[in-house]
């Protein structure tokens, strides 16, 4: 595959001078990786995998990763003094992802992934240089928000990110619950990723456009949701079931694998991804999972806070939420651009005083919402609400965070008015990792 940089300024923007200088003072070198140079890219991919405690990828897996990840801005930190200097000691990649916001529009979001620092070089400010560089490059390109999903929730607050969507994990005791949901319609059938790719992508596009917090798919993400990546453990066990409406329209799928237990009648189903563009698809796919023979438990992650499962089964406690976790973190880089892209469910006016330690978008703004549409202007008027840029990120997609942030002292002033304006009836959700 040849790489074209046309209309992809995220690939051509040079490395950030400030971070390059800071690293150079520590004897380290910040560089963009040429993702058409297979050897250099493979070293970067190995370092990324090592950072997350993974193994060395097979040649087949590397080929797939190179194909699917070439279009990301791929940054490395090198320690040129060490013998294995071709292997980065720091990694990050990024791309501009359309992020669905309340009302259904999308805002360009600087999606950051693969943040790793070699354990031999930890806590020397490498991640600080990488994150600073990502945010400054995004800001210089006029991208109004940055987003990431995180391995640990303690890391990213210092760079102005706030948790903006929460994800639920479910364990369903399928020997205990009975389906009490509506009659299910449509057609279910087994397929495989190669045959299903086009329809699956169309389903994913609808799912991602349908909820604030979801991001547009890239080929890499879509491949992961429809089936296992090459070289993943138990790849041969993955199954893909498609749902088509009574009219034959592709509207959903579930990708899953069955795990053995010591009782053959009690397998556990690990759901890789459940995609449902309509309620009919959602109910049909849930019912399929809950009624599988030789299965005792269904385990699903990254569902929304409003997953309707308890209303679809005979015994609510047989379908337990076993985890609720912060999932998508949002960092606002341009308050007016971010706030005017989303829609609001109530009209109103607020003067917001936003504190941004990194200096990207702090200031005082009058937000006026009329007919659900916002205008934002800078003002010197007294604020109604003072908050950190992290807190603004946390309420931006409609999540129910204003009251908690007010109790914690991270929002001061009229938190109820902030809540009324920003919160949405349907909670935001991100159903994938990136």
Ligand X SMILES: CC(C)(COP(=O)(O)OP(=O)(O)OC[C@H]1O[C@@H](n2cnc3c(N)ncnc32)[C@H](O)[C@@H]1OP(=O)(O)O)[C@@H](O)C(=O)NCCC(=O)NCCS
- Residue 259 interacts with ligand X (CB under 6 A)? no
- Residue 411 interacts with ligand X (CB under 6 A)? no
- Judge whether 161 counts as a catalytic residue: no
Please report where in the chains the tokens 């438990």 appear, as a residue.
297
Structure-block tokens of residue 394: 């946390």
The catalytically annotated residue of 78, 156, 273, 396 is 156
- Residue 52 interacts with ligand X (CB under 6 A)? yes
* Choice from 19, 45, 51, 312 touching ligand X (CB under 6 A): 51
From residue 172, how far is each of 235, 289, 303, 343 by CA, in Å? Answer: 23, 10, 13, 36
- Judge whether 434 counts as a catalytic residue: yes
Q: Which residues are paired to 107 by β-bridges?
A: 99
In the complex, residue closest to ligand X by CB: 127
Q: Which letter does DSSP use for residue 174 in this model?
A: T
Please report where in the chains the tokens 């992508």 appear, as a residue.
201
Residue 100's SS3 state is: strand
DSSP letter for each residue of 194-240: HHHHHHHHHHHHHHHHTSTT-B---HHHHHHHHSPPTT-TTGGG-EE
- Is 73 one of the annotated binding-site residues? no
- Residue 155 interacts with ligand X (CB under 6 A)? yes
Structure-block tokens of residue 76: 């490395």
Find the part of the chain contacting ligand X (CB under 6 A) among 55-63, 114-122, 243-251, 386-394.
114-122
- Residue 92 interacts with ligand X (CB under 6 A)? no
* Choice from 117, 137, 226, 277 touching ligand X (CB under 6 A): 117
Please report where in the chains the tokens 């899953």 appear, as a residue.
256
* Choice from 9, 98, 125, 193 touching ligand X (CB under 6 A): 125
Find the part of the chain contacting ligand X (CB under 6 A) among 37-45, 94-102, 145-153, 403-411.
145-153
Task: Work out how close the CB of 127 gets to ligand X at its nearest, in angstroms, rounded to a whole number.
Answer: 3
Task: Work out how close the CB of 34 gets to ligand X at its nearest, in angstroms, rounded to a whole number.
Answer: 23
* Choice from 6, 25, 80, 152 touching ligand X (CB under 6 A): 152
Nearest to 345 by CA among 371, 306, 384: 371
Residues 32 and 92 sit within 8 Å (Cβ to Cβ): no
- Residue 116 interacts with ligand X (CB under 6 A)? yes
Find the part of the chain contacting ligand X (CB under 6 A) among 144-152, 166-174, 363-371, 416-424.
144-152
From residue 92, how far is each of 62, 111, 213 by CA, in Å? Answer: 17, 11, 22
Binding residues for ligand X, rule: CB under 6 A, are: 51-52, 115-117, 122-128, 150-152, 154-155
Catalytic residue list: 156, 434
Annotated binding site for acetyl-CoA: 115-117, 123-128, 151-152
């Amino acid at each position: 595959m040849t790489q074209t940089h046309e209309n992809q300024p995220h690939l051509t923007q040079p490395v950030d001078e400030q971070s390059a200088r800071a690293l150079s003072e520590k004897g380290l070198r910040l560089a963009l990786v040429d993702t058409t140079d297979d050897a250099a890219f493979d070293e970067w991919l190995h370092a990324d995998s090592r950072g997350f405690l993974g193994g060395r990828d097979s040649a087949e897996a590397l080929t797939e990763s190179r194909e699917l990840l070439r279009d990301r801005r791929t940054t490395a930190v090198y320690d040129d003094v060490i013998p294995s200097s071709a292997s980065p000691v720091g990694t990050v990649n990024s791309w501009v992802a359309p992020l669905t916001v309340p009302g259904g529009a999308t805002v360009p979001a600087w999606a950051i992934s693969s943040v790793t620092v070699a354990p031999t070089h930890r806590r020397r400010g490498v991640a600080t240089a990488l994150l600073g560089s990502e945010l400054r490059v995004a800001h210089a390109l006029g991208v109004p928000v940055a987003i990431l999903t995180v391995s640990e929730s303690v890391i990213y607050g210092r760079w102005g990110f706030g948790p903006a969507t929460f994800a639920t994990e479910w364990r369903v005791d399928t020997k205990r619950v009975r389906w009490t949901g509506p009659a299910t319609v449509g057609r279910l059938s087994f397929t495989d990723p190669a045959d299903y790719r086009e329809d699956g992508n169309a389903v994913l596009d609808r799912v991602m456009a349908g909820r604030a917090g979801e991001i547009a798919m890239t080929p890499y993400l879509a491949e992961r949701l429809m089936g296992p990546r090459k070289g993943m453990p138990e790849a041969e066990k993955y199954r893909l079931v498609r749902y088509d409406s009574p009219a034959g329209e592709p509207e959903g799928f579930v990708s899953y694998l069955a795990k053995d237990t010591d009782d053959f009648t009690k397998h556990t189903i690990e759901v890789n991804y459940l995609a449902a563009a309509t309620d009919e698809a959602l109910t049909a796919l849930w019912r399929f999972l809950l009624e599988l023979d030789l299965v005792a438990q269904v385990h699903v992650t990254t569902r929304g806070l409003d997953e309707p499962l308890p209303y679809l089964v005979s015994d609510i406690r047989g379908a337990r939420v076993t985890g609720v976790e912060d999932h998508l973190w949002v960092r606002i880089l341009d308050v007016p651009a971010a706030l005017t892209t989303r829609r609001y469910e109530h009209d109103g006016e607020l003067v917001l005083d936003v504190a941004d330690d990194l200096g990207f978008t702090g200031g005082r703004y009058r937000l006026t919402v009329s007919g659900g549409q916002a205008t934002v202007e800078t003002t010197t008027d007294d604020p109604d609400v003072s908050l950190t840029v992290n807190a603004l990120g946390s309420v931006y997609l409609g999540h129910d965070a204003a009251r908690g942030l007010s109790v914690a002292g991270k929002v001061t002033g009229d938190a109820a008015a902030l809540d009324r304006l920003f919160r949405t009836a349907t909670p935001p959700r991100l159903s994938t990792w990136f």
